[in-house]
Structure 1
Amino acid sequence: MKIAVGSKNPVKIKAVEYTLQEARIQGSFMSIDAPSNVSEMPFSDEETMQGAINRAEYCLKHMEADVAIGLEGGVMETPFGLFLCNWGALAENGKTTLLAGGARIKLPDEIAVNLRAGEELGPLMDIYSRRENVRSKEGAIGIFTNGMVNRDELFIHIMKLLIGQKGDWFK
């Protein structure tokens, strides 16, 4: 089986490979920098979900893959504040695309204000944490949970939710 990941982000690739190996699902992995075709900073569950779907479906159209995975991070506004959100999509030709979402955490007001003003989370997190390329490492979730939960763990959880829906992989 050929499995495509719609990202070159090492955190997302690691999550896909790790979860499929843990589930003993055999396949060759490839990745492509698939466009999300949503905002650089998706600002709702719906937009973040669409970004994941677009990445997965792009892989199916542009690569020789049996299965394609799209993973997308964003934020969502609630009456309680701005929260991180993460979504994944698993696409196969001729089948309904599967979706799964991950844990959420409220962002500090100082970050939320800048996001609402149009800034993107990745660069904000680099400045806030005084680290480089946080999005490809622990992610905002890792910074705001003091390393108790990192970005790869969020995407691993989403991958488990996605492949758990694939009954035909476990027969």
Structure 2
Amino acid sequence: MAFPKRRNYQEQKKQRLVIVGSKNPVKIRSTENAFQSLFEDYFLVEGLNVDSSVNDQPHGEVETYTGAYNRAFEAKKAFPEADFWVGIEGGVDEVGEQMVAFAWIVILDPSGQIGKAKTATLFLPDAISSLIRKGMELGEADDRVFQRTNSKQGNGAVGILTNGVVNRLEYYQQAVTLALIPFVHKKLY
């Protein structure tokens, strides 16, 4: 009995391109991990610096969601031949006397389908909230309070505050995965 010749596994998969509206390595890697975990295709995930058209530190749900949508939309305009475009935008909001941090994820595809999800929300310590209220970005406030450098391209507030138990990559990856649900179950959306 003759067996068919085996092909390289990567050759059997279709290669698809995903553009993330950011050059932040954590956002790119979390997107890549989410796509690879849900689909059988091979994904090439690239980051692209685009304008979110919102404040550097978005405040509130609407501004943060808008920033994520704008990043995905601008990535699509800049690189229309891709298969998916992803926007990830971190924001803060006031809940009573305290400040919370979270991120919105928006995913677009050529058919006009949109996926969206939000990360878990965490309350920020007063030392960080106070700096943000004075105009500082969350990453910069983290760096100042915890005496670090460029934490927003690393573990971020969520990683620092949980002593690494919840890292920023996993934090974003879960929300990117949730935003992909409409693409996994197209007949339902």
User: In structure 2, the residue corresponding to 1:146 is in which secondary structure?
Assistant: coil
**Structure 2 unmatched ranges of 5 or more:** 1-15
Aligned counterparts of 2:44 and 2:138: Cα–Cα separation in 1: 32
Q: After the TM superposition, which parts of structure 1 deviate over 4 Å for at least 4 consecutive aligned residues? A: none
Structure 2 partner of 1:74: 91
Structure 1 partner of 2:149: 132
**Number of paired residues?**
169
CA contact (8 A) 2:36 2:43 kept: no
Deviation at 1:25, TM superposition (A): 3.7
More deviation in 47-56 or 91-100?
A: 91-100
Deviation at 1:27, TM superposition (A): 2.7
**Structure 1 unmatched ranges of 5 or more:** none
Aligned counterparts of 1:25 and 1:15: Cα–Cα separation in 2: 17
Structure 1 partner of 2:34: 19
Aligned counterparts of 2:36 and 2:145: Cα–Cα separation in 1: 35
Deviation at 1:21, TM superposition (A): 1.4
Q: 86, 100, 106: which one pairs with 2:123?
A: 106
More deviation in 23-32 or 130-139?
A: 23-32
Amino acid at match of 2:59: F
User: In structure 1, the residue corresponding to 2:123 is in which secondary structure?
Assistant: coil
What RMSD over aligned residues (CA atoms) do the two structures have, in Å?
1.5
Deviation at 1:115, TM superposition (A): 0.9
CA contact (8 A) 2:158 2:167 kept: yes
Aligned counterparts of 2:27 and 2:46: Cα–Cα separation in 1: 12
Structure 2 partner of 1:164: 181
Identity %: 34
TM-score between both structures, scaled by the size of structure 2: 0.84
1:54 maps to 2:70: yes
More deviation in 92-101 or 60-69?
A: 92-101
Aligned counterparts of 2:162 and 2:182: Cα–Cα separation in 1: 29
More deviation in 2-11 or 160-169?
A: 160-169
TM-score between both structures, scaled by the size of structure 1: 0.92
User: In structure 2, the residue corresponding to 1:33 is in which secondary structure?
Assistant: coil
User: Of the two, which has the highest radius of gyration?
Assistant: 2
CA contact (8 A) 2:113 2:182 kept: no
CA distance 1:157–1:80, change in 2 (3 Å): farther
Aligned counterparts of 1:20 and 1:99: Cα–Cα separation in 2: 14
